[in-house]
Structure 1
Amino acid sequence: TRPIAARDYWTKTPFRQWITTAVFNAVYVDRVSGTPAPQPAGEAPAMPAPAPSPAAGTPDPEALRAALPEGDPLAPLVQALESGDSIVIFPEGTRGHGDEPQPFKSGLYRLAQMFPQVVLVPAWIHNVQRVMPKGEVVPVPILCSVTFGAPIELAPGEERRAFLD
């Protein structure tokens, strides 16, 4: 199981890079301007229209993965899932800031389309902002709880916003 880590933050110092690489085996994601990518900073790359699969007009997962543009921020996550790794992501794009989740980013939906066989287990880390505050490298020893929900899946033809909500 591998956490997803923002490359710009977690490789800023040798210690951060060591802990995320050697200890946590993180998957790095590029998220800032100046990283090699074919699209302007802050814009998600357009996905070519994939060939529909036999199941009621749903996109073909293999075609979606093959159409992933070079430099797409999801590429390292796709590679990890193709290798059989489990990943831990914050679908908000960052650790939470409060008692309620922020709107989810579309990457979760795209991954669910590309990997319909992957089990998605929602989890809520209560007190994450105190256990792993922004700017800290290792968790602070404060009590927290993790609540796991029932596995979810993308229904055939389900729209992005409905899935993410």
Structure 2
Amino acid sequence: MKIFKFLFVLLLVKPLVFVGLGLNIINRQNLPNKGPIIVAANHNSHLDTLVLLALFPISMVHRVRPVAAADYFLKNRLTAWLSLNVLGIIPIQRSPSKSQRSAIFDECHQALNQGDILLIFPEGSRGEPEVMSGLKKGIFHLMQGHTDCQVLPVVMRGLGRALPKGTAMFVPFNCDVIIGDGIDKFNNADHFLNVMQQQYDQLASACIVTQCE
């Protein structure tokens, strides 16, 4: 899997992101150089995961694990093979049964225990371009038991216009990626939601090439 992901990011993802998009990256120095850590970004486009992958050095991409919806990315054999063996996703059931709930984060816990970097979209699914929907509490529950794990908030703007939800047409567009500071403690799930929303609002105010609402 490592060689597939290495070649995919090197030959396709990085050229697409850094040549096809006008990418403005703020606070790139805040990106982690090791895990365990959860990169928590807003979600408007299928480009979101690719942009986040492209930000990391090639030597680290095998440690960067997108957490993605099993029902979408494992819906057929080809998509499942590409998602698991090239992107290296950790599939999550969005509507788990009672028997699945206790094990829903097992692979995520395993990845954090071995020092991986998880990419998670706390909105749960793609929303309307440039509009954040409500945050979910899953990241807070995932952090329990990982005292050495931080959450890194990231705001991306413009990608929902470059590849809008429901379309397959890529449109070159100037985009912002604003990277916050890592947060290592939340008092409870509601505190997590409040702090993260405040962080997203603050980061969004730093947008340069797109108008943030």
CA RMSD of aligned residues (A): 2.5
Mapped to 2, the partners of 1:135 and 1:7 lie a distance apart of 18
Residue of structure 2 in register with 1:38 after alignment: 99
User: RCO higher in 1 or 2 (8 Å CA, sep ≥ 6)?
Assistant: 2
Mapped to 2, the partners of 1:87 and 1:99 lie a distance apart of 23
Query: In the superposition, relative to structure 1, how do residues 99 and 7 fare at CA in structure 2: closer, same or farther (>3 Å)?
Result: same
- TM-score w.r.t. the length of structure 1 is 0.66
Map 1:13-162 to 2 at 5 A.
Answer: 13-32=76-95, 37-38=98-99, 69=102, 71=103, 73-135=104-166, 140=170, 142-143=172-173, 144-155=175-186, 158-162=187-191
Query: In the superposition, relative to structure 1, how do residues 116 and 100 fare at CA in structure 2: closer, same or farther (>3 Å)?
Result: farther
Q: Is the 8 A contact 1:29 1:76 kept in 2?
A: no
Query: In the superposition, relative to structure 1, how do residues 164 and 20 fare at CA in structure 2: closer, same or farther (>3 Å)?
Result: same
Cα displacement (A) at 1:126: 0.9
Q: Higher helix fraction: Structure 1 or Structure 2?
A: 2
Mapped to 2, the partners of 1:116 and 1:102 lie a distance apart of 28
Q: Does 1:9 align with 2:38?
A: no
Q: Aligned AA for 1:162?
A: H
Gaps of 5+ in 2: 1-63, 195-213
Cα displacement (A) at 1:136: 6.2
Aligned-residue identity in percent: 29
Query: In the superposition, relative to structure 1, how do residues 102 and 13 fare at CA in structure 2: closer, same or farther (>3 Å)?
Result: same
Match of 1:108, SS state, is helix
- TM-score w.r.t. the length of structure 2 is 0.53
Gaps of 5+ in 1: 40-44, 46-68
